[in-house]
Structure 1
Amino acid sequence: MSKKLLVRRAAVLGAGVMGAQIAAHLTNAGVDTVLFDLPAKEGPADGIVLKAIGNLAKLSPAPLASKSLAAAITPANYDTGLEQLRDCDLIIEAIAERMDWKQDLYRRIAPFVGEHAVLASNTSGLGINALAAVLPEQLRHRFCGVHFFNPPRYMHLAELIPADTTDKAVLEGLETFLTTNLGKGVVYAKDTPNFIGNRIGVFSILSVIHHTRQFGLGFDEVDAITGPLVGRPKSATYRTSDVVGLDTMAHVIKTMADTLPQDPWHKYFQSPDWLQALIAKGALGQKAGAGIFRKVGKDIMVLDLEKQDYRAADRKAADEVVGILKIKNPAEKFAKLRESQHPQAQFLWAAFRDLFHYSAYHLADIADTARDVDLAIRWGYGWSLGPFETWQAAGWKQVAQWIAEDIAAGKAMSDAPLPAWVLDGREGVHAAEGSYSPATNTLVPRSSLPVYQRQRFPDPLLGEKFDQGTTVYENDGVRMWHDGDGIAVVSFKTKMNTVSDHVLNGLQEAICIAERDFQGLVIWQQKEPFSAGADLAGALGLLQAGKVDEFDALVANFQRTSQRIKYALVPVVAAVRGLALGGGCEFQMHSARTVAHLESYIGLVEAGVGLLPAGGGLKELAVRASRAAAGGDVFAELKKTFETVAMAKVSTSAVEAKELGLLRPTDRIVFNAHELLHVAKAEARNLAEGGYRPPLPERRIQVAGDVGIATFRMLLVNMLEGRFISEYDNEIATRIATVVCGGEVDRGSLVDEAWLLNLERKHFVELAQQEKTQARIGHMLKTGKPLRN
């Protein structure tokens, strides 16, 4: 058994951008956190930290899962606060990247660090052994590097860098904590400058810069071909540099130049003149409003090196190159890139070739296995495949031969030879048995640390297949399967996991089977989102064909499915991550329990397409308000959630979904998306083992009635006059108010669920027949954006 790292309290040293955000994410995870910095020269001693905590609410994307969490972070300074370190179990140092400053701070805090505490440096590239050298003997075995990627709440990667003195049990405890509690993907890196992610990632950017000049391409042109077309984020290469900050970029390049003098590619480790010129005049990228790109009004401008000025960013990927990149077979695609005379194609081949060459040459010194490199780049840079996976998919032997030919012909960036293992006749570095390790010259399987047994489907690498379980039932909309553990799982098969007739009928059938043969049922999707809601295209088709009866039947079937989930004789648990909108949100509202990944964006968004929630969502809000009021003021309870629905609000986290009333206080929040299924199954099993019974039918729901509707209408008039909403928004919101208040009945009347469901359906079908609603649906399908008509 590996030793558990018990973290009751944590400290973060350094309240800069990174330190403050790490403290925020520890707080998201329910860890009591102290944030330290230097004492302020004037005002309160903790002033620097207080300012940093205040700033967290302004950052986008938001570091905190809820703004209210800022108050939970304890501010402290190094002059008066060091005593607080004594009861901290984990201390993460995140001050500026200067070896002397870090070492001075370690000497200062060492006497206050508890005998069991783990100390970690969040450095992005400084030597971990050099840092460890200044620590007292008894602390060295509890010290290592842990490199979070920015922004730490959202980036999956955390690099763990052991010092020579670090205790294995300490590393395993920290790895387990990072994985489950903070939701990270952990990769072990060797103590080399910039570790794995930035070493390979920044080299990739440097090679792109080099080849941009070599082939005479524009920055916008390069971004057009190094983004989604090659399985990388929309921000591609130069836009990413602007987002990261050109000064940060230059700093990392300088670190490589200073610390890697022996690297065969060393001559490329320098900021080009244009980058230095931009930094000199303060054009540092997104944070400064201008960098390689800048926005003028609505237009995006890009730096043009020939003109020495900005021009419209309008150079695209050439049709010939788009054609090549759309080829499904990677081997054929790479052959065509290499043959093509088009400068964009030649550029891409050259950039991939030098990336493969560099990754293979340095694999042995930076990582234990090829898996660590590929996962670091995927999780840290958002690529769909890492460099070794890309090479292997394209045909390892052939590509290796081409690289060797280019090196011999002097075309590659360096004449360093490929390592012998690359050319030993292998077909690649990843196989079912594991990934290649140059140190042992074997394939090494994934870690057997117990925490990874919680991941039924880890992030798969090329060539990895995970058993899909035994299928119990399948139709065109869903697949129901199990692992022989008594809990069945049902997953959707539609695009964006939208809800179609097949999904509705499939879910009802799956519940029947679960009641008969299983202890519980989990609704879980193999990939995000949980569900983007009802199948709008199908619904619009029925309406435009004038098939109102069929449309009404579809809505009735939706409600029937929600009720079936709620009243199933076995617990139905919804495992939510990503978007859970409209019908997706309604399904989880009716489940016995929701287990939501922290990054769950949940909302009843029907108002945005001119409709109202009619899969039982408004009915559930009325039921919850009645229950919470317990004979008191129902309207006060409804007011909390009315705006959420009328304004089609979507939570920015699972924590916020609880605050908006879309998740229940008893629902669980999970930090690692790969552990979601494990926790959801455990919840279903716990409920079943506890003798689960569904709730009794809701026959006495107290509603706000006509007085409630009138009060909501007054609020809406103010919004209408203030131009916050359109006339049509007002009509939709009034209908929402009518349903949640139980219709035109006396205040405090008691109604049942069927009454509320009928109200929902009536107003939904009436709205759906309006021209403005159909225009909104059409606009959403065409542009993906809401229409305010």
Structure 2
Amino acid sequence: MASHNRYLVRKVAVLGSGVMGAQIAAHMANANVDVVLFDLPAKDGNPNGIVQKSLAFLQKLEPTPFSVKSKANYITPANYEHDLDKLTDCDLIIEAISERMDWKKDLYTKVSGKIAAHAIFATNTSGLSINSLAEVLPAELRKNFCGIHFFNPPRYMTLVEIIPQKHTNLKTMDNLEEFLTTVLGKGVIRAKDTPNFIANRIGVFSMLATMHHTEKFSLGFDVVDALTGTSIGRAKSATYRTLDVVGIDTLAHVIKTMSDTLPSDPWHSIFNVPTWIQALISKGAVGQKAGGGVFRKVGKEIHVLDLKAQEYRLSKPEADADVVAILKLKDPSEKFKQLKNSQNPQAQFLWAIFRDLFHYCAVQLEEIADNARDLDLAIRWGYGWAMGPFETWQAAGWKFITDAINEDIAAGKTVAKTPLPAWVTDGRSEVHFSNGSYSPSTQKKEPRRELPVYARQFYPERVLGEKAIYGETVYENDGVRLWTKDDEISILSFKSKMHAIGSDVLEGVIKSVKIAEEKFKGLVLWQSEPPFSAGANLAQVTQALKDNDFKTLETMVKRFQDASMALKHSLVPTVAAVQGLALGGGCEFVMHCSKAVAALETYMGLVEVGVGLLPAGGGCKEFTLRAAKEAKGGNIFPFLQKYFENIAMAKVSRSAEDAKELGYLRPSDTIVFNPNELLYVATQEVKSLYEAGYRPPLKSKDILVTGKGGTATFKAALVNMLAGGFISEHDHKIGSYVATILGGGDIDQGNIVTDEWLLELEFRFFMELLRTEKTQQRIKYMLENGKPLRN
């Protein structure tokens, strides 16, 4: 018999149904993992009342933890008093109760007798010692016990830190890493058992340094947020807004952990909870969950706490114009030179927070992480920064920054006097190289970990200095590049901004399908960065409208239809690998490929009504065809209704699962949780379709339509919406056109039409709308403001 060495996960238990535990359970359910969610028994009523209340709360949470609402049904509620036997057949048990060592240990003694010998037992903690927690476990369970640290919200945040203790079996870590990577779609970093691990140790330090310098330079909280958000490549919520979202009480708790567990940290003097935070906590103003913290909403206005006046005032988040100009500089070394040398207090503040962050990371790297890459990726994935601290330092010029830090240490300007470690000043100009990142403990460049799961990631997220080679170019024009990795499968990537579809992209698609038919087993449509495609190139449309050049626009719409049909009727399989936005024409391309492989975070929709148009790249035709197939010769109207609503209300899916429910993706399309595995899975799909003797569908000649009867029903609904003030006159006009196309035109019910007939209807009504003033206003507005105009 073959030895049993695969780690299979049929069932997972999550202990603790608080905010984190419940959301971890929700993401397991998203991934079709059978999950049992435990909590204390309720004092009265249903013993699982606590868990049921948590699940009800999850349904209201935004952004939603579930890929589709129905996933909530996959979570089984349980309690510690009656259901401990349910643990025996679980392959993975994640404990996620409150961050209290005594409570956790107490629970372990209660459950350890029920845990199977092969199961992995992990504690979701943001900073408690894994070695201390392991002490209460029986010896045979310790080898499978480790720390696991999800970031909030678990569905959307890439990072999961996993932390071994001294008895953890290496195979356990590998198994857990593989499961988290493919099944849950996470970016896994192995951390050491040090307080707050990697991401929070650095991320919270960065917040503490920012708070320290906010006070030192006496800046308003709103101004600091204007300086420390997207303008320096960090999350939109910047510093103090993040504090409100995370919860001021939570941060105070983490700071206390740092203060208690890191007494000899050279920066210990700033590991304290500022008095103004203590004051907010004592008033219960702990942030968003309490209706206000540093910021609060007063009617429509945002007010911010003013420390000097000890009261709230209207928030005016304005950074100084000179500083904004420095931050806009493209060259990082020039940007940092100017920040360092500027006399402007806001610029000095920014230099100070970066300098302290670099200083801290350099001193702590060896103790907390295996190498510089792990630290940078942990911060990017856990905090949403565009670049990690070491990448930023390297981009700004290693030597320049190093000298500047040393100068400030000598001048007594830094928080800690600790010198930079010797490796920083060994003459190097980088820590990230093409073949690895520096590790102070091994004093070598450490390559990426080689687990079988990583062979599925052709292009993992890179750090500065790592290069990606995107195969051999087969064909290229201004809009697209067709290339291959293995001479078997061709890959088509767009070069336009937001991967918008203009004439050059359309020509590129048509030409690429021809080349794929002649030379390859198939074609994968894949972009190296999301979005998949934001739809038609509106700038090109606007230009043609300005020139009153309707001939060009007619050609463009016809070519759009040709490109969609080329993807659908190609003699070799075409597979769309989708991630992020796939809107309008981007969505139509996906609908026409032989198959789609979509990342869980895929937001698809036919949103043309937002710019006063309707889907004319075959989207209406495809929906009519799908409804006719689903009706199987019966009444097509109920099937059409959903599709009509999708287009008329410009519905966008909230996940790939949701895109299946809305009908943008087919039931047979594949959903992948890790976007880095998209290209691998898509190429495998092409190969299997090809090997199975793929033939494209023939052009449809027998589409049974609902005709005037069905169209009239849709139009009646539109009249009611217009009368109720839900839609404008122009929306009514667009809706009527969409209803006519989906109905198959001005013909009687029960008639048969062809693909070409429906495409012709799309074309005709699309061109009519383009000639209206209202549609032209909508297109212009969308281009200028990035949101739809309802005129």
Alignment TM-score, normalising by the size of structure 2: 0.98
Mapped to 1, the partners of 2:708 and 2:557 lie a distance apart of: 25
CA contact (8 A) 1:566 1:590 kept: yes
- Map 1:344-383; keep pairs closer than 5 Å: 344-383=346-385
Secondary structure of 2:141's aligned partner: helix
Partner of 1:771: 773
Partner of 1:723: 725
Partner of 2:55: 53
Partner of 1:461: 463
Match of 1:524 among 501, 526, 540: 526
- Map 1:39-118; keep pairs closer than 5 Å: 39-118=41-120
Partner of 2:141: 139
Mapped to 2, the partners of 1:343 and 1:201 lie a distance apart of: 23
Letter in 2 for 1:193: P
Mapped to 1, the partners of 2:80 and 2:726 lie a distance apart of: 48
CA contact (8 A) 2:223 2:317 kept: yes
Partner of 2:515: 513
Partner of 1:740: 742
Mapped to 2, the partners of 1:476 and 1:525 lie a distance apart of: 15
Deviations 1:32-70 (A, max 9, x none): 111110000111010111111111110001000001111
Cα distance, 1:326 vs. partner? 2.1
Cα distance, 1:315 vs. partner? 4.0
Moved more, 184-193 or 216-225: 216-225
Secondary structure of 1:87's aligned partner: coil
Partner of 2:28: 26
Secondary structure of 1:602's aligned partner: strand
Cα distance, 1:652 vs. partner? 0.5
Deviations 1:355-406 (A, max 9, x none): 0111111111111111111000000111111111111111112211221221
CA contact (8 A) 1:3 1:169 kept: no
Determine if the alignment matches structure 1 residue 35 to structure 2 residue 37: yes
Mapped to 2, the partners of 1:224 and 1:88 lie a distance apart of: 47
Mapped to 1, the partners of 2:338 and 2:725 lie a distance apart of: 56
Letter in 2 for 1:666: S
Mapped to 2, the partners of 1:420 and 1:540 lie a distance apart of: 58
Partner of 1:500: 502
Percent identity, aligned pairs only, is 60
Cα distance, 1:244 vs. partner? 1.0
Partner of 2:606: 604
Deviations 1:180-219 (A, max 9, x none): 1101001111001110000000000000000111111111
CA contact (8 A) 1:523 1:575 kept: yes
Partner of 1:417: 419
Moved more, 394-403 or 145-154: 394-403
- Map 1:428-447; keep pairs closer than 5 Å: 428-447=430-449
Mapped to 2, the partners of 1:782 and 1:250 lie a distance apart of: 43
- Map 1:161-240; keep pairs closer than 5 Å: 161-240=163-242
Mapped to 2, the partners of 1:596 and 1:782 lie a distance apart of: 30
Mapped to 2, the partners of 1:231 and 1:18 lie a distance apart of: 27
Mapped to 2, the partners of 1:762 and 1:41 lie a distance apart of: 66
Partner of 1:426: 428
Match of 1:470 among 469, 472, 476: 472
Mapped to 1, the partners of 2:595 and 2:285 lie a distance apart of: 50
Cα distance, 1:2 vs. partner? 12
Moved over 6 A (4+): none
Secondary structure of 2:236's aligned partner: coil
Letter in 2 for 1:578: G
Secondary structure of 1:471's aligned partner: strand
Partner of 2:398: 396
**Structure 1: runs of 5+ lacking an equivalent:** none
Letter in 2 for 1:673: P
Mapped to 2, the partners of 1:476 and 1:468 lie a distance apart of: 17
Moved more, 507-516 or 244-253: 244-253
Deviations 1:464-518 (A, max 9, x none): 0011210000000000110124001000011100000000000101111100000
CA contact (8 A) 1:3 1:170 kept: no
Secondary structure of 2:416's aligned partner: coil
Mapped to 2, the partners of 1:542 and 1:428 lie a distance apart of: 49
Cα distance, 1:3 vs. partner? 5.1
Secondary structure of 2:88's aligned partner: helix
Mapped to 1, the partners of 2:416 and 2:523 lie a distance apart of: 56
Cα distance, 1:299 vs. partner? 2.0
- Map 1:569-718; keep pairs closer than 5 Å: 569-718=571-720
Partner of 1:556: 558
Mapped to 2, the partners of 1:724 and 1:399 lie a distance apart of: 57
**Structure 2: runs of 5+ lacking an equivalent:** none
Mapped to 1, the partners of 2:329 and 2:727 lie a distance apart of: 47
Secondary structure of 2:579's aligned partner: strand
Cα distance, 1:766 vs. partner? 0.7
Letter in 2 for 1:394: A
Mapped to 2, the partners of 1:786 and 1:5 lie a distance apart of: 49
Secondary structure of 2:60's aligned partner: coil
Partner of 2:340: 338
Partner of 1:278: 280
Determine if the alignment matches structure 1 residue 480 to structure 2 residue 482: yes
CA contact (8 A) 2:584 2:615 kept: yes
Cα distance, 1:445 vs. partner? 0.4
Mapped to 2, the partners of 1:118 and 1:532 lie a distance apart of: 42
Deviations 1:549-598 (A, max 9, x none): 22111111100110000000010100110000000000000000000000
Secondary structure of 1:427's aligned partner: coil
CA contact (8 A) 1:337 1:349 kept: yes
Mapped to 1, the partners of 2:215 and 2:259 lie a distance apart of: 20
Cα distance, 1:714 vs. partner? 2.0
Letter in 1 for 2:575: V
- Map 1:294-313; keep pairs closer than 5 Å: 294-313=296-315
Cα distance, 1:329 vs. partner? 2.1
Letter in 1 for 2:108: Y
Partner of 1:407: 409
CA contact (8 A) 1:486 1:519 kept: yes
Mapped to 2, the partners of 1:3 and 1:413 lie a distance apart of: 51
Secondary structure of 1:229's aligned partner: helix
Partner of 1:129: 131
Cα distance, 1:418 vs. partner? 1.4
Mapped to 2, the partners of 1:366 and 1:249 lie a distance apart of: 20
CA contact (8 A) 1:22 1:152 kept: yes
Mapped to 2, the partners of 1:714 and 1:729 lie a distance apart of: 14
CA contact (8 A) 2:225 2:317 kept: no
Cα distance, 1:719 vs. partner? 2.3
Letter in 2 for 1:465: K
**How many residues are matched?**
789
Mapped to 1, the partners of 2:70 and 2:391 lie a distance apart of: 42
Partner of 1:786: 788
Mapped to 2, the partners of 1:736 and 1:380 lie a distance apart of: 44
Letter in 2 for 1:351: I
Alignment TM-score, normalising by the size of structure 1: 0.99
CA contact (8 A) 1:2 1:173 kept: no
Deviations 1:319-348 (A, max 9, x none): 211222222222222121111110011111
CA contact (8 A) 1:3 1:173 kept: no
Q: Cα RMSD over matched residues?
A: 1.2
Mapped to 1, the partners of 2:674 and 2:557 lie a distance apart of: 35
Letter in 1 for 2:706: A
Cα distance, 1:717 vs. partner? 2.5
Deviations 1:737-784 (A, max 9, x none): 110110121111110000000011111111111111111111111111
Mapped to 2, the partners of 1:600 and 1:4 lie a distance apart of: 31
CA contact (8 A) 2:287 2:294 kept: yes
Secondary structure of 2:581's aligned partner: strand
Mapped to 1, the partners of 2:487 and 2:187 lie a distance apart of: 27
Letter in 1 for 2:236: K
